[in-house]
Amino acid sequence: MNRSNVPDTRQRSFTVALIGTPAASAGTVYGFFDLLASTRRDWTLMHGGHLVESPFRPMVLSRDGQSLLVTNGVRMTPDGRFEDVPAPDIVCVTELMEGPGTDVNERYAPELEYMRQAWRNGATLCSSCSGALLLAATGLLDGCDGTSHWAYCDLLARDYPRTRWFPERTLVVTGKDQRIMMGGSGSAWTMLVLAIVARFVSPEESMKLARGNLLGTSDVSSVAYASLTRGGPIEDPLVAKCQVWAASNYSVDSPVGRLVALSGLPERTFKRRFTETTGMSPLEYVHTLRLEEAKQLLESTDMPVEAVATEVGYQDASFFNRLFRRKVHLSPAQYRRKFGELNQQLRRIAAGPVALPANVPAYGTRA
């Protein structure tokens, strides 16, 4: 089964096998499950859309499908056995409560064989944190870069010297057709999930997941992540029609006047009806559309801030800066630094090979 390094996004859904073992952490296994299952669904709901399915179908699988008592005494009930899903699109092994240097080959023989078979069938293999113990034991990391928890990398380098280990890296994408993805220490698994979404669906969908769940950067107010156009469905058909027009025409001159004309109502009547329906005045609504588009441009382009302001309908860049800061709690330049870097990283992942930063030392020897 042949696959290119860029998945076919026309595929309706992607099956994700999450490896369940007694040494697994339920928090991370089900954290993966929750984030993948919420992709597209939650953002759509936050913006008043109907319930939609995630493009991912996560499943917890184990060697026998039986209930497991996992790390910290949590009871995990797998969705099935390995043999029930012989050809998943993605296999993820999260951290294992096994000490650095543990020989996992005999203890995890069924898991290793499942991962190797999935690889032969074209799957992408993923590990987070100490889950690298299993991924390395498959033999598929020979000649590749790798990452794991900082406490494991030195002993992994001893046991797997043909892999170059980078404990300081949050994410590594490597292997044939870039079909191996690894998260580093601790909560780096969240970046791994974002990378999976970027690769298999789109960077835009991954950024929505990041913003909806406050992922990707830790020193920013939650307001900066917020979508300014969130809200429930609008039942007033006239107001809904005006919203549809505004979504494509927010940058025109005198947008509120044009909305009034479109509605066919007296100005005061229209403004009152719009505000009662949406919770904001027509002018405030236009500002939210403009600022949300500005956020997208700041994330995904190198346009100067002044050009972004003009693009979304503001001729006065200083007014745009003040309004943006008031609504987002960051200046446009600060927002770009925080979220543009994440967006660009996700786009590189989606496009294919991820370049190794220059002058970064690694454990292990080159193949």
CATH H superfamily, domain 14-217 = Class I glutamine amidotransferase (GATase) domain (3.40.50.880)
Residue 168: per-residue pLDDT: 86
Residue 172 parent element (H or E)? strand 171-174
Report residue 92 as tokens. Answer: 């993820």
Give pTM, 2 decimals.
0.72
Query: Are 195 and 346 contacting, i.e. CB atoms less than 8 angstroms apart?
Result: yes
Report residue 269 as tokens. Answer: 């009547």
How many CA atoms, within 13 angstroms, populate the side-chain half-sphere of residue 39?
A: 28
Residue 235: per-residue pLDDT: 81
Collapsed DSSP state (helix, strand, coil) of residue 14: strand
**Rounded CA separation 185/149 (Å):** 4
Residue 307 parent element (H or E)? helix 305-312
Query: Are 179 and 200 contacting, i.e. CB atoms less than 8 angstroms apart?
Result: no
| CATH architecture, domain 225-329 | Orthogonal Bundle (1.10)
**Rounded CA separation 305/299 (Å):** 11
Residue 196: per-residue pLDDT: 94
Residue 329: per-residue pLDDT: 86
Residue 212: per-residue pLDDT: 84
Query: Are 94 and 19 contacting, i.e. CB atoms less than 8 angstroms apart?
Result: yes
Report residue 61 as tokens. Answer: 């699988």
Residue 296: per-residue pLDDT: 87
Give the domain ranges of the chain. 14-217, 225-329
Query: Are 91 and 45 contacting, i.e. CB atoms less than 8 angstroms apart?
Result: no
Residue 333: per-residue pLDDT: 92
What residues of the chain score a pLDDT lower than 70?
A: 1-11, 216-233, 353-367
Residue 67: per-residue pLDDT: 95
Report residue 318 as tokens. Answer: 């200083």
Single-letter amino acid code for the residue at 84: D
**Rounded CA separation 56/50 (Å):** 18
Query: Are 206 and 151 contacting, i.e. CB atoms less than 8 angstroms apart?
Result: no
Domains 14-217 and 225-329 share a fold: no
DSSP label at residue 187: G
**Closest C-alpha to 135, from 150, 121, 151, 165:** 165
**Rounded CA separation 218/211 (Å):** 12
Largest CA distance in the chain: 78
Radius of gyration of the chain (CA): 24
How do strand 75-76 and strand 68-69 relate by DSSP bridges? antiparallel
